[in-house]
Amino acid sequence: MRIFQVDAFTNTRYTGNPATVVLDADGQDDATLMAIAREFPHAEAAFVFAADAPTHDVRVRFYNARKEAPFVGHATIAAHAVLLAAGRRGLGVCRQMSGTGILDVAVHAHPTGADPGGALIEFRQSVPELGNPLPLKTTLRVAEALRLPGARLHDTLPARLATKGGTRLLLPIADAEGLAMIEPNFGTLAALGAELGADGFFVFAHRAAPDDGSTDSRMFCPALGIPEDPVSGNAHAMLATYLWQDGRLAGRPSFTGRQGLKMRRPGEVRVTAEIERGELLAVRIAGRAVIVSEGTLAA
């Protein structure tokens, strides 16, 4: 099996979100896949299999060092960057089967005609489910666990749980400067996650109109063994749904999400809300990726 180290949501090595990609995983049992993921615990692993039905073009399974995950956004970007570089897919749409079903993964040529590493890879997700606003008392407990002063929370936007594959608590704050102040108490945060049913905490600041509509964020997932996640595609799909429901994407259905700066692994997610007749139909998540290394797993 060929193995690759890939940085996703960036075109600069050693930034963005790292993922391990393993090609030709057909015939490997679950225990072997889990063992490989534990061998490379610094990054989530995407295992690529041949299609087993005419409904899709490729199958991908995702693991972290603890368990299998139904879907991982940055590892999807990484897997298709490898497939493109290996000549196993081209531009256009590829149908991927994974734990959340079949989704379209498109590759768009770099506008300047650069090498495949500059191609934009985009997947389309159905709309995540948003919970009711969190009570302020509970939100302040989360802020305390993050060691974030309550005064840095957003004046009007509430914290809300969002679910798509996993569950994240979306916590809006007043401005991007507040992100640098966060120093989580991971034990308290993990306990709060268990209480709320949240696998992670996505803290974000949104530059509303007349600014560019972009966002800055940090994500903490102690329950998954990930103290801080550099760049998350899935969380940005949740964020797009949140902003849409709050009316903050009106007239501006696309934005850029920036993440990873505090970890010195900056990356960017391009987010587009698909809106038809005033309804949010889906969210498209796009980014670039760069292959850092490749090799072969010993038999």
Phi/psi at 182 (nearest 5 deg)? -70, 130
Q: Are 17 and 7 in contact (CB under 8 A)?
A: yes
Count each helix (H run) and each strand (E run) in the chain, helices first.
5, 18
Q: Find where tokens 């990484």 sit.
A: 78
Q: How far is CA 169 from CA 32, 183, 263, in A?
A: 33, 17, 20
SS3 at position 149: coil
Q: What's CA 204's distance to the chain center, in Å?
A: 14
Distance separating alpha carbons of residues 248 and 243, to the nearest angstrom? 5
Annotated active-site residue in 39, 44, 129, 177:
44
SS3 at position 273: strand
Distance separating alpha carbons of residues 101 and 122, to the nearest angstrom? 16
DSSP 8-state assignment for residue 134: P
Q: Confirm whether 39 is a catalytic residue.
A: no
Would you name the residues annotated as active-site residues?
A: 44
